Homo-oligomer: A and B are copies of this chain.
């Protein structure tokens, strides 16, 4: 399905309560802010995550049709920290060729008294399809095709808020393969909802993404000038040809975030990356490890945000 045709309407019930998290499109500023508030409350004064008993009567199933150990682990850890039972259902090699078979599997898991599905799938819109066809179970989108990765965007917003306090008066640069990045698409959506107007999408010509209201720039020096936040995307090697990039060195020469380029941003600009980083490809090691980098704080926030979303969907926060 074309991603701009995918609707998230079903994630709200008739009273406007969040019952699934399919994407950030369609969520109000208040709704996003509430998720960030709940997540913030799960972090103590030392920046450590609290443990929560909120989900101690819940069972969560991780349904990963696309292998991603790292993301699956974050949901597993978040569920455990909220005291839920977690089951990993291995579907990466499953032969669920027909949607009917897929729904049968989902209904079966629901009948086993699983309360929440965390779904990752390479097909855009798949979590929405499941949510439309199964009642009384919460669906949490952990990444669908190139469509959305809402918890990643939420953790990015939480990180920005912790450092910048507001969204209205900041400028945010996103650098890399924006057209194929569900992270970038969800970030743009969230930033706009939260009030950011100065969003700069910095990408080689072949990887540009046209979004009304955001600026497309193919020169990183121009793009990051005086910005407050730089979100560096991971380079997917299979996209390099499409963008006419002959090799990693050339990408680094043209788009890698170096100390020199970072110096063009505001002095207190923060550097973000969804991980795992390719050092020397999209980011220089000294920047990744430098004092403007908040990359590991993003990881911690990722657990807090996932705990928060699970607790909200379960009606426990």
Contact = CB atoms under 8 A, between A and B. Distances in A.
Interface of A: 48-49, 51, 57, 59, 69-70, 73-74, 76-77, 80-81, 85, 87, 89-90, 100-101, 104-105, 107-114, 275-277, 279, 285, 296-297, 299-300, 302-303
Contacts of A105: 276
Given A85-B80, A276-B104, A111 B73 contact: no
A245 to B, nearest CB: 21
A105 B104 CA distance: 36
A93 B81 CA distance: 27
Given A69-B90, A100-B285, A299 B77 contact: no
Contacts of A299: 108, 111-112
B81 A87 contact: no
B73 A87 contact: yes
Contacts of A48: 113
Contacts of A113: 48-49, 77, 81, 300, 303
Nearest to A279: B100
A132 to B, nearest CB: 16
Given A101-B276, A113-B303, A303-B113, A296 B73 contact: no
Nearest to A83: B85
A302 B109 CA distance: 12
Number of copies: 3
22 contacts: A59-B77, A59-B81, A70-B108, A73-B87, A76-B87, A77-B85, A77-B87, A77-B112, A81-B113, A100-B279, A101-B276, A101-B279, A104-B276, A104-B279, A107-B296, A108-B275, A108-B296, A111-B299, A112-B299, A112-B300, A112-B302, A113-B300
B276 A108 contact: yes
A73 B59 CA distance: 12
Nearest to A67: B90
B296 A111 contact: yes
A112 B69 contact: no
A302 B31 CA distance: 39
Nearest to A77: B112
A164 B296 CA distance: 50
B111 A297 contact: yes
Contacts of A279: 100-101, 104
A217 to B, nearest CB: 28
Given A107-B296, A111-B297, A112-B303, 19 more contacts: A49-B113, A59-B80, A69-B89, A76-B87, A77-B85, A77-B87, A77-B114, A80-B85, A81-B85, A100-B279, A100-B285, A101-B279, A104-B276, A104-B279, A108-B299, A110-B296, A111-B296, A111-B299, A112-B300
A303 B114 CA distance: 11
